[in-house]
Amino acid sequence: MITRSSIRAAVSVCLSGIFFASLASAQSRDPVSLKFWSINFSGGAGTDPLKEVIRDFEQANPNIRIDLQVRSTDAHKEAMRLAINTDNAPDVYWMWCGVGLGGFYINGAEALSSYYQQYGWNQRFVPPALELAHFNGQLYGVPLQIHALAVFYRKDLFAKAGITTPPATYEELIAANDKLVKAGLTPLSMGGKFGWMTMRLIDQLLEKVCGPEVHDSLKSLRADWSQEPGVAKAYTELKLWADHYLPHNYLGVEPTEGIIPAYRGQAAMQYEGGWLIPRLVADGQDLNNWGFFPFPTGTDRIYFFSEELFITKRSQHKAEGAKFIDFWTSPEMQQKYVTAFGGASPTRGVEFKEGPPLQKDFYSLIVNTKGTFLPADMAMPLPIVQAYFKANDQVVSGELAPSKAGRIVQDAIEQYQKEKR
């Protein structure tokens, strides 16, 4: 017999079912939170292009929210090193290319070949950038920016020292350095702390002294650093720069602070990438007073690398991560932000249509280069990079004779190869 109590119970069950179904439906509509880690692109001033990209993506994809965490360059490396194989790892992360910086994190990254096929990424990017996205024969990274480095200089300080044209050869660069010193100026101001700015200089000196073939053999671990004569010669040049052309407190200066003497009119040059240009704008510098020239190695190759986006193996939102990457690297978004990140787009068909002449000229340098080589911390495995940094710093500080530097690197190579066997 149907009673009032049984009817009430049935209605209660029905209403409960409706409530929980409605709750589940509402929960299913909650946005996915995608954790993304990156370096800070804002330069400490002005608008942040990374936040603008995320705003655009979230407007186009209201079911996905980007949980952004940004850090300084070295803090980002450390955070990724600690988190990459833990439950604290991000879903998507920004990183450099190469077996050194990028390759160190590959054991925690997802291979992306299926997403390359799904989104047509193999056809989207220019060949040099696509080549750098491979690790051990598989596609792990997705190209985001391609970059070159050059020597930026203040035109007024060059004029003060009597330098009328940018140096076109290494000998002319040394002569310009001497003129700057005579005028009471520091030729090159960089921050030597953490080692990677010193690396930029010695990498160029190895390219100049050894030539492309030997330089590539050294970085690919096929040549003996302790036996190659050019290594000792390059380190002798590094010591010359340290003693005469760099700030006296160089090794203790934070990389982000290396440009301050140039702002103050105390130093004439910075060895940086195109990302310096947005910072110059944000810091109120007159771009008409700045120029640049490739470091004159005499080889016609430029310092070149790419930045890439990765998805972690532990991510529970790989599909959403791939959607975010596809959005950011699309021709439309790359064209919209073509000047925002200081490099060139690896996406086919993207053009530099507006912006300051300095940036336009630098963009042209990147896309029209005749040859490239990677920075050491991307070209070599991390344990060897650490030894390289140690040798560099000890030569700069005077603790190590230039003739002994190659032995430190070679010992690290031999230990690395022994452990891999």
Residue labelled with tokens 């490396």:
77
Residue labelled with tokens 């300084």:
72
Angle between helices 229-244 and 382-397 (to 10 degrees): 50
Domain assignments of the chain as residue spans, ordered by start? 32-147+304-372, 150-303+373-420
Query: Which residue(s) pair with 159 in the sheet?
Result: none
Q: Which phi and psi angles does 373 have, rounded to 5°?
A: -150, 150
Q: Average the pLDDT over 273-287 and give the result.
A: 92
Q: What topology is assigned to 150-303+373-420 in CATH?
A: D-Maltodextrin-Binding Protein; domain 2 (3.40.190)
Q: What is the pTM of this model?
A: 0.81
CB 293 within 8 A of CB 359: no
Considering only CA atoms, which of 266, 110, 123 is closest in space to residue 188? 266
Read off the pLDDT band of 221 (50, 70, 90).
very high
Query: Which residue(s) pair with 309 in the sheet?
Result: 94, 142
pLDDT digits (tens, 9 = 90+) for 224-249: 999 999 999 999 999 999 999 999 88
Q: Average the pLDDT over 342-356 and give the result.
A: 86
Q: Are 32-147+304-372 and 150-303+373-420 equal in CATH topology? A: yes
Q: Structure tokens of 403?
A: 């003739």
Q: Which one has a higher pLDDT value, 321 or 11?
A: 321
Q: What is the CATH number of domain 32-147+304-372?
A: 3.40.190.10
Q: Average the pLDDT over 284-295 and give the result.
A: 96
Read off the pLDDT band of 25 (50, 70, 90).
very low
What is the Cα–Cα distance from 417 to 104, expressed in whole angstroms?
A: 16
Q: What is the mean pLDDT of the chain?
A: 90
